[in-house]
Amino acid sequence: MNRTAAAPAAIAILIIVLAAGCSHRAPLPGRPEYVTPLPATYPAPSTTDTMVTSGPSAPQNGVDGGQSATQAVSVWKQAAQPWLGTPYRIGGLSRDGIDCSGFTLTLHREVAQRTLARTSQEQWSRSVPVSPNQVRAGDLVFFNTTGKGVSHVGVFLADQEFVHASTSKGVIFSQLTDPYWSTRYLGARRPR
């Protein structure tokens, strides 16, 4: 392929990757996949309340069934620590730069040996809704930051804290009760 033909092809590929990365139409209220957003005034659950302790598909405790909720939170936080400050880069998957869905994918691979889908849209659609009183460390939290639906994802830790790859600050810890995040919150979901 000559250079004049290669440049438009490369640009087209870049546009497709950028468009698919972290965007998706949000589900509408009243549909089964919709999770009622957690209001900013919602009381923070204690770490003992952030686990599902019964049900056919619920792990017994923590990440792999052998940890308490406090231990699970610690494991997720420790795994996130080396990533703090990593700059945001669309399509990135390394400490040189990472995007939101790449970060959740990588953290889940490191902590839970679980393979997530690559985009926030796919992560949303391939996970199951979690009610606010059953959110636990490792669950995914989704946001509509563009006005067009699911456009951002992070990993819940405990007490309204989550970790994510922010477009402006890179990988950081944030609070669901922060006015910016609480008004854009779509809900928590658990990878299958």
Domain range annotation of the chain: 3-191
Tell me if residue 108 is catalytic: no
Which of 22, 24, 108, 152 does the annotation list as catalytic?
152
Q: How confident is the chain (192 residues) per 10-residue block, as mean pLDDT?
A: 60 50 45 45 37 30 62 96 98 97 98 97 97 96 96 97 97 98 97 92
Q: What value, to the nearest 5°, has the Cα angle with vertex 101 and ends 60 and 120? A: 90
Tell me if residue 164 is catalytic: yes
pTM (predicted TM-score): 0.69
Tell me if residue 22 is catalytic: no
Which of 22, 24, 100, 108 does the annotation list as catalytic?
100
How far apart (Å, rounded) are the C-alpha atoms in residues 141 and 115?
17
Nearest to 94 by CA among 128, 102, 170, 55: 102
Which of 22, 24, 108, 164 does the annotation list as catalytic?
164
Strands (DSSP E) found in 70-133:
93-94, 97-98, 127-130
Which pLDDT tens digit goes with each residue over 137-190? Answer: 999 999 999 999 999 999 999 999 999 999 999 999 999 999 999 999 999 999
How far apart (Å, rounded) are the C-alpha atoms in residues 128 and 140?
10
CATH number of this structure's domain 3-191:
3.90.1720.10
